[in-house]
Chains A and B, each alone.
Chain A
Amino acid sequence: MNTLLAVIIGALTVYLAYTLYARRIDRYVIQSDPKRATPAKLYMDGVDFMPTNRNILFGYHFKSIAAAGPIIGAIVAATLWGWLPSIIWLVLGVSFIGWASDYSAIVLSVRNEGNSLSAVAHKLISPRTRSILFLFIFFYLLLVAGAFVGIMAGVMQGQPRTHLGIIVLVGMGLLLGQMLYRWRVGLVGATVLTVGITLVAILSGPWSEGTFTALNTALDGLTGGTPLVTYFDPTLAGFKGAEAKIMPSLFFWAVAICIFCYAGSVLPIWRMAQPVVYVGFWITALAMVLGLGGAAVAGFVKPEVAQFQIPAFKGFNPQLGPAGIMPLWPMLFVTIACGAISGWHALFGSVGTARQIENEADMLPVGGGSMLTEFLLGLLALLAVSVGAKGAPVGAFANGLGGFISVWGVPLQYAVSLAFAAFIVIVLVVTQLIFRVMRVTLSEWLGEVIPPCRNQHVASLISIALALLLVMTGTWIYLWQLFGGANQLMAALSLLLVTVWLASVGKNWLYAGLPTIFMYVTTVASILVTAYNLYFNVYQPNREAGRTLPMIGSGLMVLVALLLVIAAVVIAVDGVRAFMKYLRRPSPAPTTAPARG
Chain B
Amino acid sequence: MDTPRLPNWFGGAWTALRQFMYGLTGYEFSRHALAMRHEMEAVFMVVTLGDLTGVPILPPIYSLRLLPYVVPEIATWKRHMARRKEFWEKDEYDLHGL
A residues contacting B by CB (< 8 A) are: 43-48, 50, 53, 55-69, 116, 118-119, 137, 144, 180-181, 187, 191, 269-270, 274, 277-278, 281, 285, 338, 342, 344, 347-348, 351-352, 429-430, 433-434, 436-437, 440-441, 444, 487
Contacts and interface: CB of A to CB of B under 8 A. Distances in A.
29 contacts: A43-B76, A44-B76, A45-B77, A47-B31, A47-B35, A55-B17, A56-B20, A56-B27, A60-B23, A62-B23, A63-B24, A64-B96, A66-B97, A118-B86, A144-B98, A187-B25, A191-B25, A270-B36, A281-B24, A281-B25, A281-B96, A338-B97, A342-B98, A344-B95, A351-B88, A352-B89, A430-B96, A433-B95, A433-B96
B44 interface: no
Contacts of B17: 55
B21 interface: yes
A56 B89 contact: no
Given A60-B23, A277-B96, A342-B98, 15 more contacts: A43-B76, A45-B38, A56-B23, A59-B20, A63-B28, A67-B95, A67-B96, A68-B97, A116-B88, A269-B32, A281-B25, A348-B88, A429-B96, A433-B95, A440-B87
Contact of A278 (B25, B31, B94): B25
A437 B88 contact: yes
Given A63-B28, A187-B29, A274-B28, A69 B98 contact: yes
A137 B22 CA distance: 30
Contacts of A437: 88, 93, 95
A181 B33 CA distance: 9
A58 B20 contact: yes
A62 B24 contact: yes
B91 interface: yes
A66 B95 CA distance: 10
B38 A46 contact: yes
Contacts of A180: 29
A63 B38 CA distance: 24
Nearest to B16: A55
Nearest to A187: B26
A50 B77 CA distance: 14
Given A67-B95, A274-B28, A59 B76 contact: no
B63 interface: no
A430 B88 CA distance: 15
Contacts, number: 132
Nearest to A53: B19
Contacts of B15: 55
B23 to A, nearest CB: 2
Contacts of B95: 64, 67, 344, 348, 430, 433-434, 437
A236 B91 CA distance: 41
Interface in B25-58: 25-29, 31-36, 38
B2 interface: no
A60 B28 contact: yes
B92 A56 contact: no
Contacts of A277: 96
A48 B80 contact: yes
Given A48-B80, A58-B23, A281-B24, A347 B88 contact: yes
Most chain-A CB neighbours within 10 Å: which of B76, B92, B97?
Answer: B97
A187 B96 CA distance: 19
Contacts of A45: 38, 76-77, 79-80
Given A43-B76, A269-B32, A440-B87, A430 B98 contact: yes
Contacts of B92: 269, 436
A277 B10 CA distance: 32
A63 B86 contact: no
A597 to B, nearest CB: 16
B79 A116 contact: no
Contacts of A119: 84, 86
A64 B80 contact: no
B86 A59 contact: no
Contacts of A347: 88
Contacts of A62: 23-24
A63 B32 contact: no
A443 to B, nearest CB: 8
Contacts of A59: 19-25, 27
Contacts of B77: 45
Contacts of A53: 19
Contacts of A487: 98
A214 B56 CA distance: 65
Contact of A69 (B22, B27, B35, B97): B97
Contacts of B24: 59-60, 62-63, 281, 285
Nearest to A444: B87
Contacts of A441: 87
Q: Which 3 A-B pairs give the minimum distances between C-beta atoms?
A: A59-B23, A67-B97, A55-B19
Nearest to B42: A47
A348 B16 CA distance: 24
A444 B36 CA distance: 22
A225 B34 CA distance: 53
A277 B91 CA distance: 13
A48 to B, nearest CB: 7
Contacts of B96: 63-64, 67, 277, 281, 429-430, 433
Contacts of B16: 55
B27 A64 contact: no
A68 B92 CA distance: 19
A213 B18 CA distance: 43
B25 A64 contact: no
A56 B97 contact: no
A58 B92 CA distance: 19
B10 to A, nearest CB: 15
B97 A65 contact: yes
B44 to A, nearest CB: 14
Contacts of B29: 180, 187, 274, 278
A240 B76 CA distance: 62
A55 B89 contact: no
B25 A67 contact: no
